[in-house]
Amino acid sequence: MKISEQIGASRDSLPFEIDGMVVKLNDLAMQRALGTTSKSPRWAIAYKFKAERAYTPLLSVEFQVGRTGAVTPVANLAPVRLAGTTVKRATLHNFDEVARLDLHFGDTVGVEKGGEIIPKITDVKKELRPVGAQPVAAPSNCPVCGEPLAHIDGEVILRCENMHCAAQVQCLFEHFVSREAMNIENLGPALIASLIATGKIKRIPDLYRLTIEDLESQERMAKKSAKNVYDAIAASKERSLENLLHGLGIRFVGRTSARNLAKHFRTLEKIRTATVEDLQNVTDVGERIGKSVYDFFHTERYTQEIDELIELGCPTEFKGVVKTLFQGQTAVITGTLPSMEREEARKLIEENGGKVSGSVSKKTSWVLAGEAAGSKLTKANELGIPVHDEAWLLAQIAAADSGDISGDEGAGDTNDSGETPAASLASDSSDKQKAAGDTPTADANGQLSLF
Ligand SMILES: [Zn+2]
Q: How far is the CA of 153 from the centre of ligand 1 (A)?
A: 19
Q: With a threshold of 0.85, does the pTM exceed it?
A: no
How would residue 115 be classed by pLDDT, with cut points 50, 70 and 90?
Answer: low
Give the least confident one: 9-13, 42-46, 190-194, 335-339: 9-13
- Overall average pLDDT of the 29-47 stretch: 76
In whole angstroms, what separates CA 82 from the centre of its chain? 26
Choose between 157 and 406: higher pLDDT: 157
Q: Given this model, what pLDDT does residue 416 score? A: 37
Q: Is the pLDDT of residue 444 over 70?
A: no
- Overall average pLDDT of the 369-395 stretch: 92
Q: How far is the CA of 243 from the centre of ligand 1 (A)?
A: 26
Choose between 414 and 360: higher pLDDT: 360
- The proportion of the chain whose per-residue pLDDT surpasses 70, expressed as a percent, equals 82
Q: How far is the CA of 422 from the centre of ligand 1 (A)?
A: 16
Q: Given this model, what pLDDT does residue 383 score? A: 94
Q: Given this model, what pLDDT does residue 17 score? A: 64
Q: Given this model, what pLDDT does residue 291 score? A: 95
Q: Given this model, what pLDDT does residue 153 score? A: 64
Q: Given this model, what pLDDT does residue 440 score? A: 33
Any residues with CB less than 8 A from the CB of 218 and at least 6 apart, and which? 191, 194, 195, 198, 200, 226
Q: Given this model, what pLDDT does residue 432 score? A: 34
In whole angstroms, what separates CA 406 from the centre of its chain? 26
CB 208 within 8 A of CB 313: yes
Q: How far is the CA of 163 from the centre of ligand 1 (A)?
A: 8
- Overall average pLDDT of the 209-226 stretch: 93
Q: Given this model, what pLDDT does residue 57 score? A: 95
Q: Is the pLDDT of residue 415 over 70?
A: no
Give the least confident one: 314-323, 332-341, 420-429: 420-429
Q: How far is the CA of 146 from the centre of ligand 1 (A)?
A: 6
Q: How far is the CA of 161 from the centre of ligand 1 (A)?
A: 7
Sheet arrangement for strand 449-450:
20-24, 44-48, 449-450
How would residue 67 be classed by pLDDT, with cut points 50, 70 and 90?
Answer: confident
- Overall average pLDDT of the 423-435 stretch: 35
Q: How far is the CA of 60 from the centre of ligand 1 (A)?
A: 20
CB 215 within 8 A of CB 184: no
Q: How far is the CA of 150 from the centre of ligand 1 (A)?
A: 11
* All structural domains of the chain: 1-50 (3.30.1490.70), 52-162 (2.40.50.140), 166-238 (1.10.150.20), 241-311 (1.10.150.20), 330-392 (3.40.50.10190)
Q: How far is the CA of 408 from the centre of ligand 1 (A)?
A: 40
How would residue 423 be classed by pLDDT, with cut points 50, 70 and 90?
Answer: very low
Q: Given this model, what pLDDT does residue 388 score? A: 95
Give the N- to C-terminal CA distance of the chain in Å, as an integer.
15
| Max mean pLDDT range (80-94, 207-221, 388-402) | 207-221
